[in-house]
Amino acid sequence: MRLLTRPYTPAHLTIDPSAEAFVSDPTATFDAPAWRRRLRVAQGQEPADLVLAGGEIVDVFGGDTYQADVAICDGVIAGVGPYPQARDRLDVAGKWICPSFIDAHVHTESALVWLPEFARAVVPHGTGAVVTDPHEIANVAGLSGMEAMRAAARGLPLGIFFTTPSCVPASHWESPGAAFGPAEMAEMLGWPECVGLGELMNFPGVLIGDDDIAAKLAVSAGTRRDGHAPGLVGAALQAYVGAGPGSDHESTTLDEGWEKLRAGQMVMIREGSSARNMAALLPLVTDATYPRCCFCSDDRDVHTLLHDGHIDVTLRQAIALGLDPVRAIRLATWNAADYWRLDGWGAVAPGFRANLVVLDDLHEVHVDMTLHDGKIVARDGAICDGTVAESAIPDNLRDSVHIGPLRLRDLRLAPAAAKVAVGVIPGEIATRLVEIEPEMHDSWAVAAPERELLKLVCVERHHATGRVGVGYVRGFGLRQGALASSIAHDAHNIIAVGADDGDLLLAIMTVAESGGGLAVVANGQVLARLALPVAGILSDRPLPEVAVAYAALEDAARALGSQLPSPFGLLAFMALSVIPEARVTDRGFVHVG
Amino acid sequence: MRLLTRPYTPAHLTIDPSAEAFVSDPTATFDAPAWRRRLRVAQGQEPADLVLAGGEIVDVFGGDTYQADVAICDGVIAGVGPYPQARDRLDVAGKWICPSFIDAHVHTESALVWLPEFARAVVPHGTGAVVTDPHEIANVAGLSGMEAMRAAARGLPLGIFFTTPSCVPASHWESPGAAFGPAEMAEMLGWPECVGLGELMNFPGVLIGDDDIAAKLAVSAGTRRDGHAPGLVGAALQAYVGAGPGSDHESTTLDEGWEKLRAGQMVMIREGSSARNMAALLPLVTDATYPRCCFCSDDRDVHTLLHDGHIDVTLRQAIALGLDPVRAIRLATWNAADYWRLDGWGAVAPGFRANLVVLDDLHEVHVDMTLHDGKIVARDGAICDGTVAESAIPDNLRDSVHIGPLRLRDLRLAPAAAKVAVGVIPGEIATRLVEIEPEMHDSWAVAAPERELLKLVCVERHHATGRVGVGYVRGFGLRQGALASSIAHDAHNIIAVGADDGDLLLAIMTVAESGGGLAVVANGQVLARLALPVAGILSDRPLPEVAVAYAALEDAARALGSQLPSPFGLLAFMALSVIPEARVTDRGFVHVG
C-alpha cells in the first residue's frame, strides 16, 4: 500500500498477543498448531522433520539452480535456505532437488494396471502427480467406476488428479456399460481432486453447437477444460478454442502447435507409447512461448513404462534435443501445475508440498530418489517397501463382464453384410472401407485367410444383451486361430478377430470367463491369456508380470501369422466408431463418415 | 487420447443431431443460443458484431505481433484471423491491438474520486481492469462499504476485481468506523468479483502465528492471497511466503525482488505516485523470470492520474528502460490476469472478452482507443459520452462523519504528554520519536511555530465518541494556521496540524461539516477546502475538478509556510500506528515499536 523508503524488520513492531482478535469464524479445517510449527521451523526456531542438505535447488521461477537446504515440516516445504536444525538430515550435496514431475494428461488405463500398480511403476521415475482422464473406466462403470478410482487414489505416494470424462459414449453407435452425462460430470467436478473437464474429443459436436456439448460446457463453467482437436486449424480452431478448451495435446506439427498456442491454448507436448510428438514440437518452446507448454504422455503402455520410464524419459529427450534442463523441468512441473491450478505443486519453495525428486545428474535426469509429502517413497529406481499397499479390486469393478449365451451360429456372417470389409492401413488406427467379394460356404460368408479376409466379431458384454456384430476385416494378417480382447475403445465390449469360428468362440469365452482379458487361441487350444479382472480392462497384478504375459500374447499372435507391430493394440481400436472409415461394433458393421 | 497419424477434419465424421443427448442437467446460466451464434461467427458463417480489421495483434502467448482481423460477437472475441463479414467494421491497419491493461494491485481511493470517476480517468489510458483492495472504505464503512463499492463497479467500462481487506483495523490503537474480521472477509470472498485475500500487511502477526491471522488464512483457503512485506528477506520471508501470500508489491531493490520471486511470489513491480520501483526492479525481468512479474500502481494520486496516466505510463517507462514492448504488454495483461485467475481477460484470442486497446504506436504505447466488452468506450484520450453514468453517492457512504461536541479546551495538550513529539523525517512517512521541552502557556503545552513545534490533533469521527488525541509534531513546517483532513490512514479519523488552537478547531469543524474533506485555515478564515462526501475520504466530482481543488489546498498550505512536497499527503499518515516510530491517534500519542 504505502511507501517505506527503508525496509523495516519485525523488531520495529510490537505485537500484543492479547490484543483484541477479530476472530468471528475460525474454521475447523485450518490446522493452526501445524501452521505455527511450520512458521517456527521456517524461522529456524524449531528443527525440521527432514532437511535435504546442501543440494542444488532447481528453481523453476528463477530459471536456474542454487545451493540451499530444504526444510520439510509435516510434508510441506517450510523453507529453502540454510537450515542446520533437523530431526532427520539427508546429505544431498552434489545432487539436484527439483519438484516431482507432473504428467499433464494421461489415461492410466493404457498401462493395463490398476492405480496402485501404476503408482508403483511411475513413482521411481520421479513422477509426483498425474492428471488423468479415466474415460475407459467411465465407459465400463460410469460414476461408480470414477468413485472406485478416487478411492484407490487415496493414500498412494502419487498425486492423482482427475478430469471428468466428457465423451462417454464416444458415439451413439457404441454400447458402453454406463452412461456418463452432464449430471455425472457435475457430480465428479465437485470433487476437490477433479480439476476440470476431460478432453473434449467431440470437436465436430462443438463446431455445430451440439446440445450435448452445450450441457457439458454448462456444468463445467469456471473449470479448466482440456481439448482434443487433432489437426484442427483456421476458423474451426478459433471456434473450438473459443468454446472453452484451454489446452490441447494433439498437435503433431510445429505449425499446428504454434497456431493452437497463439489461439490461447496450453500446448501439451505428448510423448506417449505410440504418439510421439516431441521431435516435431520442441522447436515451439522458445523464450517467448515456454510458459505456455508442458508435457504429457496421454498413453503409456506396459512395455514403455517398464523399459523406458515416464516423464523422466520425456525430459531426457527434450534436453537431448537442446532444451535447457531447468526449463525442461519447469515445463514438467510448474507449468503443468499452474495450468491445472494444482496449488502447492510444482516448485521447490516455501508452502509447496514436499513432493520432490533428487537427481544424481541434471542433464541425464537420473532419479536418485522420489519424495512424496516429505517422505522418501522411491530410491534407486524402486518403490520403497510399504509405500504402496497391495492392490485390491473394488467390488464394483469386479465381475464386470456379462455376455448372453453365445453359440457358433451367432458368429455367422450374412452375405448381405459381407460385401464390405474393414481395411487395415499399415501403421494407422484409421481404416478404409473396402468392397470385397465374400468367401461363401453353406450360404454364409466365412473367413478366408489366404485372401487376407478374417472375421471381426464384437460381443456386447456389459448387460448380457446377446447382441453380436460380425463383419469382415482385411489386412490383419492372421493365418489361423483367433484373438479376443475386452479392451475395445471406447465401449470396451469384447472384440475378436479370427480365421475360424470355433477358435473365435473359444477366445471370446476365455476372455469372458476371465472377467475380461486377452486371449490367443488356435485349433481349439488357448495358447496365451491375460486376465483383466478390474472392469474387464485392467490387471490387478504388478506391471512386470503384466508385461511378461502381454509379451507372451503378442508372441502367440505372431506365431499365428500376424505381422502387425501390436496386434492387440490394433484390435482394441476395431470397434471405435469415431475414427474413419469402417468398424464393427456390437451393433454391426459401421461406416464412419 | 489416441494416435491419428493424419489429421482429420469434421467432414470425416457424421454427427446426427437427433442422437440421444445425455442432457440431464442443463444449467440456466449457459446461454446456448449466444454460444451457437459465436461459433457461427468464428467459422465465418454469420457476420460479427464488430470486426477490427487489419491491425497488428499483440500476441502475449507467442511473444510477437501478427496481422489479423479480430471478430467480436456479444462482447467476446469470436476469432482472430481473416473475417470479411461484419455488421460494423473498423479499419485499424497500421495500428496495434492488445489486451486492455490490468493494474494488479491498487487502492482506487488514493485518487480521491469515487469509482465511476476513477473509471472515467483511467479507461482512456487503456486500463481495462484493476484488482483493488478497498481497505480505506473498509475502515470507514466495513462490509456495507464493500457492498457499495461492488454496486458502483457494476456497469462501468472497467473490470473492477476486489481483494478482501485483511488488516482492518491496522492495529488495536486505531478506531475505524467498522470492524472487518474473518466473517466479513468470508462474505466478500464469496463474491465472483472478489479474487482473493488483500495484502496481508500484518507480516509480524504472520511470523508469530497470530490467532487473527490464522482465522483470516482459514477463511481464504483456496484463494489467491496478496502479500505486503517490505524489506522482508531470509528465513522470515520463507516463513511469511509459506503461510500463503503468493504475491508482493513491496520490493524496492533488485535483491529483494529476486529473493521473493525465487521464494515463489509473483513480483508486482510498483509504479505509484510516490513509490516508484520500476527502475530498481526492471532488471529482474529476464527470459527466465518474466512469467513471474507483473505491474501495479498501488496508489496513484489525482495529479499523477490526470497529468501522467496509469499503466500506459508504466509500460512506456519499462520500454524506455529496454523491455521488449510485447513482453511489457504481457506483464501488464496476461501475467496479471493469469495470476489473479481472471478467466477471459488478458489476451487477444478466441473466447477472451473483447477488452482491448488499439495503439497508434507500440513503442510509445499511445492509446488510440479502448474497448470494453466489444464496445469502444474511450477514444483519443477521452471517455466516450454515455459510457459512464453520473456518480451518485451511495446512501450508506454519505454522512459518514460524526464527531462529538468539540470545544477549544478539547484541543489542550497536557504537559505530561508534551515531552515527546512526532519527528518528521524529510521524504519519508516513517517518523522519529523525539524528546522535547514543551512550550508552556497557562499550564498547558502550546504550539511554538518558531521552534518548529505544532500541535497534532486526531478526532474520532465515526461514532461521535468525543475522543480526541493531542500531541506535538516537529518538522511539519507551518508558520501559522491549521490543516485538517478526514483522510488519515487507516482508520480515517480527522487529523489536523496547526499553530493555533482556534484555527485547528475551525479546520476540523470545516472538514466535519463537509461530511469529510480537507481544509486550510488561518486567522479564523477558511482559505481552501475540498469536500469528500463519499465515506469522508472521496469526492463525487470528476478527477480534473478534484485536481484543481487539491492544488489550491496545497498552495494555501505552502502560503502558510509548509515546505513539504505534499503536506496533506504526509498529514494522512500522521495517525497510522503501524509505521514507526511516533503517531497521534484518537487515543493519544502512540510510540510504535
**What's CA A15's distance to the chain center, in Å?**
51
B198 vs B14 pLDDT, higher one: B198
Residues of B in contact with A489 (CB under 8 A): 2
pLDDT band (50, 70, 90) for residue A293: very high
Closest-CA residue of B relative to A167 is B22
Considering chain B, what is the average pLDDT of its residues?
Answer: 93
Question: A220 with A189: CB under 8 angstroms?
Answer: yes
- The reply to whether A22 touches chain B by the CB within 8 Å rule is yes
**Beta strands at B224-227 and A96-99: parallel, antiparallel or unpaired:** unpaired
Residue B29 confidence (pLDDT): 66
Residue B399 dihedral angles phi and psi, to the nearest 5° = 50, 50
DSSP secondary structure letter of residue B506: H
Ranges of beta strands (E only) in B313-386 are: 356-361, 366-372, 375-379, 382-383
- The reply to whether A345 touches chain B by the CB within 8 Å rule is no
Task: Enter the C-alpha cell of residue A110.
Answer: 493404457
pLDDT above 50 (res B28) = no
Three-state DSSP class for A440?
Answer: strand
Cβ-nearest to B231 among A8, A59, A66 = A8
Residue A240 dihedral angles phi and psi, to the nearest 5° = -65, -50
Cβ-nearest to A1 among B11, B199, B208 = B199
pLDDT band (50, 70, 90) for residue B13: very low
pLDDT band (50, 70, 90) for residue A2: very low
Contact: A25, B263; criterion CB under 8 Å: no
List, as ranges, residues 523-582 from B with C-beta within 8 Å of A.
573, 576, 578-580
- The reply to whether A81 touches chain B by the CB within 8 Å rule is yes
Contact: B299, A13; criterion CB under 8 Å: no
Residue A468 dihedral angles phi and psi, to the nearest 5° = -135, 130
| Percentage above 90 pLDDT, chain A | 89
CB contact set of B376 (below 8 Å; sequence gap of 6+): B369, B370, B384
| Percentage above 90 pLDDT, chain B | 89
**What's CA A141's distance to the chain center, in Å?**
17
A264: left (phi over 0), alpha (psi -120 to 50) or beta: left
Residue B212: name the closest of A16, A73, A11 by CA: A16
Is the preceding omega at residue B169 within 30 degrees of 0, hence cis?
A: yes
Ranges of beta strands (E only) in A155-205 are: 159-164, 194-200
Question: B367 with B126: CB under 8 angstroms?
Answer: yes
- The CA–CA distances, whole Å, from A168 to A591, B211, B464 equal 20, 49, 66
Residues of B in contact with A286 (CB under 8 A): 63
pLDDT band (50, 70, 90) for residue B9: very low
Question: A459 with A471: CB under 8 angstroms?
Answer: no
- The reply to whether B429 touches chain A by the CB within 8 Å rule is yes
How many other CB atoms sit within 10 Å of the CB of residue A18?
7
Q: Which amino acid makes up residue A366?
A: H
Residue A19 confidence (pLDDT): 30
- The CA–CA distances, whole Å, from B315 to B126, B295, B311, B318, B366 equal 11, 9, 6, 5, 10
CA distance B555 to chain A (A): 24
CA distance A125 to chain B (A): 22
Residue B499 confidence (pLDDT): 98
- The reply to whether B286 touches chain A by the CB within 8 Å rule is yes
Residues of B in contact with A263 (CB under 8 A): 80, 349-350
Residues of A in contact with B38 (CB under 8 A): 239, 242
**pLDDT tens column, A125-139:** 999 999 999 999 999
Residues of A in contact with B24 (CB under 8 A): 181-183, 215
CA distance B514 to chain A (A): 27
**pLDDT tens column, B128-186:** 999 999 999 999 999 999 999 999 999 999 999 999 999 998 887 888 999 899 999 99
**pLDDT tens column, B347-365:** 999 999 999 999 999 999 9
CB contact set of B115 (below 8 Å; sequence gap of 6+): B108, B149, B152, B153, B156, B160
Cβ-nearest to B23 among A76, A199, A212 = A212
Task: Enter the C-alpha cell of residue A463.
Answer: 448387460
Task: Enter the C-alpha cell of residue B558.
Answer: 505552502
Residue A390 confidence (pLDDT): 79
Residue A145 confidence (pLDDT): 97
| Average pLDDT of the residues in A79-95 | 98
CB contact set of A208 (below 8 Å; sequence gap of 6+): B15, B17, B39
Strands ordered across the beta sheet of A482-485: A431-435, A420-424, A468-474, A453-459, A494-498, A482-485, A517-522, A525-531
CA distance B27 to chain A (A): 6
Three-state DSSP class for A40?
Answer: helix
Contact: A263, B80; criterion CB under 8 Å: yes
Residue A80 confidence (pLDDT): 98
| DSSP letters for B206-227 | HHTT-HHHHHHHHHTTTSEEEE
Residues of B in contact with A572 (CB under 8 A): none
Cβ-nearest to A7 among B27, B210, B231 = B231
Residue A432 dihedral angles phi and psi, to the nearest 5° = -110, 150
Contact: A214, B32; criterion CB under 8 Å: yes
pLDDT above 50 (res B19) = no
Three-state DSSP class for A431?
Answer: strand
CA distance B332 to A364: 37
**pLDDT tens column, B410-454:** 999 999 999 999 999 988 889 999 999 999 999 999 999 999 999
Residue B221: name the closest of B193, B197, B192 by CA: B197
CA distance B45 to chain A (A): 10
CA distance A133 to A267: 17
Overall pTM surpassing 0.90 (yes/no): yes
Helix runs in A472-517, H state only = 501-513
Residue B190 confidence (pLDDT): 96
Residues of B in contact with A80 (CB under 8 A): 238, 263
Assign 3-class secondary structure to B572-590: CCCCCCCCCCEEEECCEEE
| DSSP letters for A224-245 | EEEE--TT--HHHHHHHHHTS-
Question: B540 with B459: CB under 8 angstroms?
Answer: no
List, as ranges, residues 384-423 from B with C-beta within 8 Å of A.
none
Contact: B256, A7; criterion CB under 8 Å: yes
Contact: A2, B29; criterion CB under 8 Å: no
**pLDDT tens column, A384-432:** 999 998 778 899 999 999 999 999 999 999 999 999 999 999 888 899 9
Q: Bridge-partner residues for A525, per DSSP?
A: A522
Residue A29 confidence (pLDDT): 66
Q: Across A28-32, A300-304, A534-538, which has the greatest mean pLDDT?
A: A534-538
Three-state DSSP class for A194?
Answer: strand
For chain B, give percent helix, strand, coil, nearest 5: 30, 30, 40
CA distance B44 to B32: 18
Residue A578 confidence (pLDDT): 84
CB contact set of B562 (below 8 Å; sequence gap of 6+): B476, B477, B478, B483
Is the preceding omega at residue B250 within 30 degrees of 0, hence cis?
A: no
Considering chain A, what is the average pLDDT of its residues?
Answer: 93
Contact: A23, B230; criterion CB under 8 Å: no
CA distance B589 to A6: 23
Three-state DSSP class for A184?
Answer: helix
Q: Which has the minimum average pLDDT: A384-393, B33-42, B75-84, B105-114? A: A384-393
Residues of A in contact with B579 (CB under 8 A): 2, 4
Residues of A in contact with B23 (CB under 8 A): 181-182, 211-212, 214-215
| Average pLDDT of the residues in B366-389 | 96
Q: Bridge-partner residues for B584, per DSSP?
A: B589
Residue A112: name the closest of A422, A499, A531 by CA: A531
Angle at B496 between CA B491 and CA B498, to 5 degrees: 160
List, as ranges, residues 164-223 from A with C-beta within 8 Å of B.
171-172, 179-183, 186, 199, 201-212, 214-215, 217-219, 221-222
| Average pLDDT of the residues in B482-504 | 97
**Beta strands at A64-73 and A247-248: parallel, antiparallel or unpaired:** unpaired
pLDDT band (50, 70, 90) for residue B311: very high
Question: A74 with A374: CB under 8 angstroms?
Answer: yes
Is the preceding omega at residue A169 within 30 degrees of 0, hence cis?
A: yes
**pLDDT tens column, A178-218:** 989 999 999 999 999 999 999 999 999 999 999 999 999 99
Query: What is chain B's alpha carbon radius of gyration, rounded to the nearest angstrom?
Result: 26
Cβ-nearest to B19 among A172, A201, A430 = A172
- The reply to whether A47 touches chain B by the CB within 8 Å rule is no
pLDDT above 90 (res A108) = yes
CA distance B62 to B73: 24
Query: Terminal CA-to-CA distance of chain B, rounded, Å?
Result: 61
| Average pLDDT of the residues in B74-85 | 97
**Beta strands at B194-200 and B224-227: parallel, antiparallel or unpaired:** parallel
| Average pLDDT of the residues in B87-101 | 98
| Average pLDDT of the residues in B192-206 | 95
Sign of dihedral through CA atoms B6, B9, B13, B17? positive
CA distance B95 to B67: 10
Residue B233 confidence (pLDDT): 97
Question: B36 with A209: CB under 8 angstroms?
Answer: yes
Per-residue b/e over A518-531, b at no fewer than 16 CB within 10 Å?
bbbbbeeeebbbbb
Closest-CA residue of B relative to A296 is B1
Name the residue with cell 545451493.
Answer: A67
Residue B391 confidence (pLDDT): 72
Residue A8 confidence (pLDDT): 31
Question: B558 with B568: CB under 8 angstroms?
Answer: no
pLDDT band (50, 70, 90) for residue A69: very high
- The reply to whether B30 touches chain A by the CB within 8 Å rule is yes
| Average pLDDT of the residues in A492-521 | 98
Residue A23 confidence (pLDDT): 28
- The reply to whether B5 touches chain A by the CB within 8 Å rule is yes
